[in-house]
Amino acid sequence: MINSGDVAFVIISSMLVFFMTPGLGLFYAGMVRRKNVINTLMSVVFCCGLATVMWFAFGYSLSFGEDVGGLGIIGNLSNAFFNGVSATDPGAYVTTIPGALFAIFQLMFCIITPAILVGSLSGRMKFSALFIFVAIWLLLVYYPLAHMVWGLGGFIAGLGAVDFAGGNVIHISSGISGLVACIILGSRKGFGIKDYHPHNIPMFFIGGAILWVGWFAFNGGSALGANGLAVQAVGNTMIASAAAMLSWMLIETVLYKKVTVMGAMTGAIIGLVAITPGSGYVPFGAALVIGALVSPICFFFITKVKQKFGYDDALDAFGCHGIGGIWGGIATGLFAQSSINPVAQWNGLFFGDTKLFVAQIMAVCISVIYSAVMTAIIMLVLKKVMTIRVSPEEESLGLDISEHSESAYPAFSGIDQ
C-alpha cells in the first residue's frame, strides 16, 4: 500500500542525492589547477544527462529487470523505457512507494558513480573519449554489478552478502575502475616531479559540504521509507563521518603538527564512503569504529601506496572510494546485526557468526575483479580505436581551453600553478 510519507521522503532523498553530483563537481574542481576547472565540472555534470537517458532507455531494466538465464548477472529488457514501471503502484522491489519512484531514486546512484570515477582521469583525457568510456562503462560494469548486488536473483545477493547503499555497486566499482583506467591512460605531464596544488580550497569545501548533507539521503533514503531503518542509517552516517574526520585530523597533527581543511573534509568524506554498505545493518557504536579506522587505511594508500607504485589517481577516487568501500564492505561483515535489518541473514563476525563475513569478502573480491577486468577491456579497446588522450601541448594549455574553449577565470593573466 502506497504511503504518502514514504513517497515524500524518497522524493526528497532523490533530490538531495542528485544534488550530490554537482557538489562532487565543485569538490573535484577545487582540487585541480585553474586551467582545468571547466573540464572537471563538465566531466562530472555530463553524467547527469547521459546516465539519465541510458537509465530510462535500458539501464534500469538491465539492473533491476527479470534475471536473464538464472545467472544473476544481468536483467532483461522487459522494463525498457520504464515499461511496466508505475508512477502510482508499487513494483517488485517496494511496497509503500511507486515503482517509478524506486527507479528514479536508483537513477541518482547511477549518475554519481561514473562522476566519482572520472576524478582519477583528471587533466589529460579527451572529453569525447571520456563520454564514450562512461557510456560503455555504465553498460558493462554498473548495470551488471547493480543487478548482481541488488537485483532479484542477483548473483552476489545470492551469496548472502549485503550492501545497503552502494559500497560494492558505487564506491568499489568507481574506485577500482578509476585506478585501472588511470594506469592505462598514463600519468599527467610532470607527475612525480612537480606538485599539483589545489587552486581553490573554499570551492572544494563547499562541494564537500554538499556531499556530506546529501549523504544523509544517500544512506537514509536507501531504507525506501520514513522509518526506523532510515533513522539508523542517518545516525550511522553522521557518527562515522565525524569519527573519520577527527581520525584524519589526529594523523595530520601527529605527522605534520598542523591540521588542514582539505584533510578534515577528506576524512569526513571517506567516513561516509566506509559506512555506506553497512549503514542500515550495523549498530551506532560500530559506526564510530568504522569511521575511526578508515582514515588511517585510506591515508596510507593515498600517501604511501600511490607514491610507491606511481599511478596517477589524480583526485584519489581509488584511495578514497575504492579503499574506503572495500573497508566498509569488510566491516559490514564484522559488525552487522540481523536484528537491525533482517535482510542480513546472519550476524557479523563480532556478533558470533562467520557466514556473513565470508560472504562480504567474496562480494568485495568479485566486485574488485569484475570492475578491474571490464574497465581494462574498455580502456584498451578505446585506446586501439581512437585517441583517448589530449596532446602534450593541449595538456600544457589546459583542458578548459583545448577541449571546451571556455575559461573559469577569464580575467586571470598570471602563470598557472
Strand partners of residue 94:
none
Tell me, what's the pLDDT at 125?
A: 98
What pLDDT sits at residue 190? 85
Predicted local distance difference test score (pLDDT) of residue 159: 98
Reading the block at residue 409, the C-alpha cell is 577565470
Q: pLDDT tens across 70-93, in order?
A: 999 999 999 999 999 999 999 999
Which string of DSSP letters, residue by residue, matches 198-234?
Answer: -S-HHHHHHHHHHHHHHHHHHHHGGG-SSSHHHHHHH
What CATH code is assigned to 4-404? 1.10.3430.10
CB atoms within 10 A of CB 307: 10
Cell of 313: 589517481
pLDDT of residue 344: 98
Mean pLDDT value across residues 379-386: 98
Per-residue pLDDT, 413: 64
Q: What sections of 85-158 are H helices per DSSP?
A: 99-117, 127-137, 143-150, 155-158
Q: Does an H or E element contain 272, and which?
A: helix 261-275
How high is the pLDDT of residue 313? 96
Query: Would you state the pLDDT for residue 406?
Result: 96
Partnered with residue 125 across adjacent β-strands are 389
Q: What pLDDT does 178 receive?
A: 98
Question: Quick check: 160 pLDDT over 70?
Answer: yes
| Residue (of 316, 335, 334) closest to 324 by Cα position | 316
* Torsion 170-173-174-175 (CA) sign: positive
Cα 73 to Cα 68: distance, rounded to the nearest angstrom: 8
Mean pLDDT estimate for the chain: 97
pLDDT tens profile 208-251? 999 999 999 999 999 999 999 999 999 999 999 999 999 999 99
Q: What is the pLDDT of residue 329?
A: 98
Query: What confidence tens digit (pLDDT) does each residue in 322-373 have?
Result: 999 999 999 999 999 999 999 999 999 999 999 999 999 999 999 999 999 9
Confidence check: pLDDT of 11 > 90: yes
Encode pLDDT of 172-206 as tens digits: 999 999 999 999 999 999 887 777 789 999 999 99
The span from the CA of 66 to the CA of 51, in Å, is: 21
298-326 confidence digits (pLDDT tens): 999 999 999 999 999 999 999 999 999 99
Give the integer Cα–Cα distance in Å for 388 and 371. 20
Whole-structure pTM over 0.85, yes or no? yes
Is a pLDDT exceeding 60 seen at residue 417? no
State whether the Cα torsion 168-170-175-177 is positive or negative: positive
What's the pLDDT score for residue 416? 58
Residue 298, CB-side half-sphere exposure with 13 Å CA sphere: 34
Q: Which residue has the cell 577565470?
A: 409
How far is Cα 214 from Cα 24, in angstroms, rounded to an integer?
10
- pLDDT tens-digit profile of 252-275? 999 999 999 999 999 999 999 999
Residues 65, 54 contacting (CB under 8 angstroms) = no
Amino acid of residue 201: I
Confidence at residue 415, expressed as pLDDT on a 0 to 100 scale = 59
* Cell reading at 272: 561516509
pLDDT digits (tens, 9 = 90+) for 58-68: 999 999 999 99
